[in-house]
Amino acid sequence: MHNDDRQYDVMVIGGGSGGWVAAAQSARVGARTLLVEKTGMLGGTTTTAGVNFPGLFHAWGKQVIAGIGWEVVNRTVEETGQTLPDFGDYARHHHSKLQIRVNVFVYAALCDETVVQSGARILFHAMPAALKPMTGNTGWHVTLCTKNGLEDYTAKVVIDATGDANAVSLAGFELNIPDTLQPATLSCRAGGYDFNKLDIDAIKSAYQEQVQAGRLQYTDAGWNTQEPDVRRWLRVRGANANHIHHISARDSCGKTKLELEARASLLRLYRFLRTQPGLEKFEIESVCPECGVRETATIKGKKTVTVGDYRNGRVWDDALCYAFYPIDLHRSEGDGLNKQPLEEGVVPTVPRGALLPAGSRNLIVAGRCVSSDRLANSALRVQASCMAMGQAAGAMAALSAQSGLDPEALAIEDIRDMLRQHGAIVPGSGFPV
């Protein structure tokens, strides 16, 4: 394959949890696959936003998501000499203990290796400028914006794994854009202090004064909108510990506003903390290159997963994977989080129809922008579920490109068979209950 090849069976746009898995699956079964990523690294939110704890692969003590994503998470754990959590310890309120901490560098490098070995081509530092259907709806003309300017490509099937449904929107399909969005989070690694030697009460009351004087916001160092949570921020050293509110980061202007506000928030906090006893040598050792975005938009799909479907563990007739996580809606008021565990034994599923934009042909989504209402999406958006959707999307896209059938017209058992052959767990046959 030459680097200037412009004709593909499958083009995957976005190389996060959904996208890199989709590209590897599609190429592993022989589809000519291009993975287009706007940054210089695969992994998406896991790597560039530092949310390096994918979950959840297990529900109620059983594995419900496996396949290509699990393969690489597992290899990262092995390669770094870590150990996996005890997945038998599944008490409802401890879902965070079932997530798997991965080293960002090793994970990103193994994503590269997996995608390259699959035969897919990766194009970093590029994003789509336009998507137009080919004559007879046989695929897509995709214009990519690259460092050389605009370049024209074709693909029989496009997978939108941008998290923001950017490609679906460029192709002219409608999105659901909520009026209220979950807050975003900028993660960092803070150092230069001994947490156990800090007078937290004194720092909290100084923080409170700064908020009253209008120089700090509570959410600069926490999720709670009504009181300082600087103890947790200092204990976790800035990892997933602030909230940036009310910015829609679906397009470049919105993302710019978000990055500026997130770093300004961290700078306010940095300046304050360095004035506190025990924090004279406080420093930000590293900061994630991107602010992590929890919510922007979902597609209007051929099917939509509602919170009722999710809570009841509906097994759709076209289910392609499981998903598992508590409902987890971050809020801009109160304590900042609406978390609702699932009833014991419930394992929700994701239907093919929720990955297909209504009215579209040869277009699939994978990941966070899956068609779902806000509460269902607050749970479906997590990384293991996005990987499972990615693998399903990759299999569908390859089958579709090879057969000339639209993804909706494929026999569901053909997709499921391919997924099983590549290690994925597929709903049906009485599994997992």
Q: Does 238 bind ligand FAD (CB under 6 A)?
A: no
Site string (259-298) toward ligand FAD, x via CB under 6 A: ---------------------------------xxx----
40: exposed, middle or buried (Cβ count in 10 Å: 0-12, 13-18, 19+): exposed
Q: Does 65 bind ligand FAD (CB under 6 A)?
A: no
Pick between residue 18 and residue 67 the one whose CB is nearest to ligand FAD.
18
| Shortest distance (Å) from residue 202 CB to ligand FAD | 29
The answer to whether the peptide bond before residue 56 is cis (omega within 30 degrees of 0) is yes
Q: What torsion, rounded to 10 degrees, do the Cα atoms 386, 345, 300, 184 define?
A: -50
CA distance 92 to 101: 19
322, 341, 375 from 90: Cα distances, Å: 17, 11, 22
Q: Does 383 bind ligand FAD (CB under 6 A)?
A: yes
Q: Which residues pair with 58 in a beta bridge?
A: 63
CA distance 186 to 240: 7
Q: Does 53 bind ligand FAD (CB under 6 A)?
A: yes
Phi, psi angle pair for 2, to nearest 5°: -90, 150
The two structure tokens encoding residue 401: 């490109």
Cβ distance 370 to 392 under 8 Å? no
Of 30-38, 194-202, 274-282, 396-404: span binding ligand FAD (CB under 6 A): 30-38
Single out the residue of 100, 115, 288, 386 in contact with ligand FAD (rule: CB under 6 A).
386
Q: Does 164 bind ligand FAD (CB under 6 A)?
A: yes
Pick between residue 65 and residue 216 the one whose CB is nearest to ligand FAD.
65
Of 132-140, 256-264, 305-313, 376-384: span binding ligand FAD (CB under 6 A): 376-384
Single out the residue of 10, 23, 24, 55 in contact with ligand FAD (rule: CB under 6 A).
55
Site for ligand FAD in 190-219 (CB under 6 A): none
Q: Does 38 bind ligand FAD (CB under 6 A)?
A: yes
Cβ distance 3 to 121 under 8 Å? yes
CA distance 319 to 6: 33
Q: Does 241 bind ligand FAD (CB under 6 A)?
A: no
Pick between residue 55 and residue 278 the one whose CB is nearest to ligand FAD.
55
Phi, psi angle pair for 309, to nearest 5°: -60, -45
Of 62-70, 132-140, 156-164, 209-217: span binding ligand FAD (CB under 6 A): 156-164
Chain centroid offset of residue 196 CA: 34
The count of residues interacting with ligand FAD (CB under 6 A) is 38
Residue bearing tokens 């200092």: 234
Q: Does 382 bind ligand FAD (CB under 6 A)?
A: yes
Q: Does 17 bind ligand FAD (CB under 6 A)?
A: yes
Q: Does 326 bind ligand FAD (CB under 6 A)?
A: no
Sign of the CA dihedral with 323 first, then 327, 329, and 330 last: negative
Nearest to 122, CA basis, from 46, 8, 29? 8
Single out the residue of 12, 23, 29, 49 in contact with ligand FAD (rule: CB under 6 A).
49
| Shortest distance (Å) from residue 230 CB to ligand FAD | 18
CA distance 328 to 356: 24
| Shortest distance (Å) from residue 84 CB to ligand FAD | 15
CA distance 319 to 59: 17
- The residue nearest ligand FAD at its CB is 16
Q: Does 166 bind ligand FAD (CB under 6 A)?
A: yes
CA distance 62 to 75: 20
Q: Does 158 bind ligand FAD (CB under 6 A)?
A: no
Q: Does 313 bind ligand FAD (CB under 6 A)?
A: no
Of 73-81, 331-339, 347-355, 381-389: span binding ligand FAD (CB under 6 A): 381-389
The two structure tokens encoding residue 13: 């746009």
CA distance 7 to 352: 26
Three-state DSSP at 124 gives strand
Q: Does 127 bind ligand FAD (CB under 6 A)?
A: yes
CA distance 177 to 268: 31
Of 41-49, 214-222, 274-282, 331-339: span binding ligand FAD (CB under 6 A): 41-49
Site for ligand FAD in 329-358 (CB under 6 A): none
Q: Please tell me the number of Cα atoms within 13 Å of 180 on its side-chain side.
A: 9
List contacts with ligand FAD (CB under 6 A). 13-19, 36-39, 44-46, 49, 51, 53-55, 99, 127-128, 161-164, 166, 185, 240, 292-294, 367-368, 381-383, 386
